[in-house]
Amino acid sequence: MAAEVRQRKPEKGGEVQPVKDEDKAIVAAPVPEEVKDHRSDGQKLRDRWRATKAWCHKHPEVPLMLVTLCIALYAIKYFASPPTTPKVFDKKSLSLYNGQKNAPYYLAIMGEVFDVTKGKKHYAEDKGYGFFVGRDASRAFITGDFKGDLDDKVTDFDEQQCKSLLEWRDFYRKTYPFKGRLDGPFYNAQGQPLKALQRVEEKAKKAKSHEELRREQEARWPSCNVRWTEADGGSVWCDDGQYPRKITTSLPDGKPTARCACFKDVGWSDVRQIYKGCHPEATHCKVLDEQPPPGADSGEGTEAGLARVKKAQAGATAQQA
Ligand code: HEM
């Protein structure tokens, strides 16, 4: 495409300049073949890389200087602000962070101290949770006794309570700035974790894995609907034409627990019992007692077993007649 020669812009206050002949000549002049770049983009990149490498070979001191500079900058940054160890509070120093005389509001949970000033609508002295401020009241977080349990004694907590306590700590970790550790049952005066902390964490871990197992069992053997009224007593039933059976499951180091589960097939066994007085094919059963119905002998329930139950029930009806 032919290059176009535009009129020159007028100089300040001047008139529009006509295009000069020598300008036309510049544009019209062909680009010399050696000036044109016929290389592909990839080739250009490779050439540039080769040129840089050649330059580095010629000046070997420069890359070395750059590496030294980076190390020096990192060292300056590191020594200017070394990784800090958390501040350790004792009971008295923590109690001073109570919102009085413009002090911030701090509280501790499981020996971790948080600045809860941004939540002062809950923690100010005259608000609902002001009693948590300036102390570690881990126990009250679980028992809900906001008078007698405002302390950090949790050794008697069971696995589930330990798990709930850790959930409260997670809430504070996520919501409020961490300020340090409290010298007490969970951390020592140097801020190092103590056995009591480890024990709570281990118990909570167990509760978590038991919960997962329970969820797995529930997914595998879904629970029946259950109802109890004073007039009618208990009853269990399944939707979608499934059959209620009493099963007994247990968790590692836990007691076996019985519950009603729904099964798609009509079978039964010692560990999958039919509710007493309930027909094996019924989808709705009254809970009379814990024994399997007559004829529901041990071993997997089968069509033959079902026939036996029907026969036994038919016999009983005939006798009554
Ligand atoms: C063990 C029992 C309980 C404990 C330890 C507890 C603890 C707390 C704490 C620490 C807060 C402030 C959370 C924050 O920093 O944002 C809070 C807020 C709140 N709690 Fe409780 N609570 C308990 C039971 C209850 C119950 C039974 C109710 C209701 C009947 C309740 C209703 C509330 C409400 C409405 C808020 C404010 C939520 C908001 O404005 O964001 N709490 N609770």
The single-letter DSSP state of residue 16 is P
The verdict on residue 284 lying in a domain is yes
CA–centroid distance, residue 122 to ligand 1 (Å): 8
Spatial separation of the C-alpha atoms in residues 280 and 244, rounded to whole Å: 9
Q: How far apart are CA 137 and CA 109, in angstroms?
A: 7
Paired tokens of 208: 């978590």
The count of structural domains within the chain is 2
Q: For atom 27 of ligand 1, which residue has the closest CA?
A: 144
> Taking CB atoms and a 6 Å cutoff, what residues make up the pocket around ligand 1?
116, 119, 122, 129, 141, 144
Q: Ligand 1 atom closest to Cα of 141?
A: 5
The predicted structure's pLDDT at residue 300: 41
Distance 217 CA to ligand 1 centre (A): 32
C-alpha of residue 304 to centroid of ligand 1, in Å: 58
Query: Is 236 found in the same domain as 296?
Result: yes
**Higher-pLDDT residue of 277, 178:** 178
Backbone angles phi, psi at 149, to 5 degrees: -115, 30
Q: Is the pLDDT of residue 67 over 90?
A: no
Q: Are residues 196 and 241 in the same domain?
A: no
**70 or 14, higher pLDDT:** 70
Give the distance (Å) from ligand 1 centre to CA of residue 164: 14
| Lookup: tokens for 24 | 């036309």
End-to-end CA distance of the chain: 113
The rounded Å distance from CA 258 to ligand 1 centre is 34
* Structure-token match 């997914």, residue found: 219
pLDDT digits (tens, 9 = 90+) for 105-115: 999 999 999 99
Q: Which ligand 1 atom minimizes the distance to the CA of 119?
A: 15
CA distances from 166 to 175, 210, 240 (A): 14, 16, 40
> 178, 211, 244 — which closes off a domain?
211
**% of the chain at pLDDT higher than 90:** 55
User: What pTM value is reported for the model?
Assistant: 0.64
| Ligand 1 atom closest to Cα of residue 176 | 15
Question: What residue spans of the chain are helical by DSSP H?
Answer: 21-28, 41-58, 61-80, 91-95, 120-123, 138-143, 159-175, 195-220, 303-320
What pLDDT, on a 0 to 100 scale, did the predictor assign at position 297?
A: 38
Residue 126, domain extent: 88-211
Planar angle of CA 19, 23, 27, nearest 5 degrees: 120
Task: Write the pLDDT tens digit of every residue in 209-266.
Answer: 999 998 999 999 999 999 998 888 899 999 999 999 999 888 776 778 889 999 999 9
* CATH code, domain carrying 120: 3.10.120.10
DSSP 76: H
